[in-house]
Amino acid sequence: MIGSAKLSRKELETCLAEISYVMNNRPLTTLTENETDLIPLTLSRFLRDLPVKGLPEMEAISAEDLQEAHRKISDLKGALKGRFRKVYLGILIQKKTKKLIDEVKVGDDVLVGADNKKRFQWPLGKILEIIPGKDDKVRVARVKTATGILLRPVQRLYSL
């Protein structure tokens, strides 16, 4: 993603901090087994209590240098978000789409796909009930999210 961009040490550190933030906040599963709690468990929950070792010394920076550094980091952050959405989340969906139809079961933690939201904004849910069709194939599931209970096709549910 950085390509041929030339970054200072501080810009690289900032870029890596942004990358670790995105990766560490991806939901892995729910925090508790309680069906009413849909709080995601992320890697960042394990890192929160780590002590801060201090801040690097501040250097004298001109306004132009600060604006240029901010622009570089913003561009790299945008590239990371785009790549994360297209590549990583796309791989998850491709891997899970066919298999999930057969493997869906009550109690599974899933991301609920929505056309009107970006993939990283999809809500976390827990499958309450699977509803087979007339041919006994599972096509629909009742899912509890933080905002209520939804009836969603299993093709739009992505297990964590």
pLDDT of residue 142: 93
Predicted TM-score of the model (pTM): 0.47
Residue among 153, 155, 26 nearest 93 (CA) = 155
Residue 44 tokens, joined: 């960042």
pLDDT of residue 32: 65
Looking at domain 9-47+59-159, which CATH architecture does it have? Roll (2.30)
The residues spanned by each domain of the chain are 9-47+59-159
Beta bridge partners of 127: 143
Task: Please give the chain's pLDDT, 160 residues, in tens.
Answer: 677 888 888 888 888 888 888 788 777 777 666 666 677 777 776 666 444 454 444 556 677 877 887 888 888 777 777 777 777 666 666 655 444 445 778 888 888 888 888 777 888 889 999 988 888 888 899 999 888 898 999 888 888 7
pLDDT of residue 143: 92
Residue among 133, 132, 128 nearest 36 (CA) = 128
DSSP E strand boundaries for the chain: 29-30, 40-41, 109-112, 124-132, 138-145, 148-153, 157-159
Residue among 131, 136, 135 nearest 157 (CA) = 131
Roughly what angle, to the nearest 10 degrees, separates helices 9-24 and 63-83? 30
Residue 109: what residue type? D
pLDDT of residue 46: 63
C-alpha separations of 24 from 1, 2, 31 in Å? 18, 20, 15
d(CA 103, CA 98): 9
d(CA 99, CA 155): 10
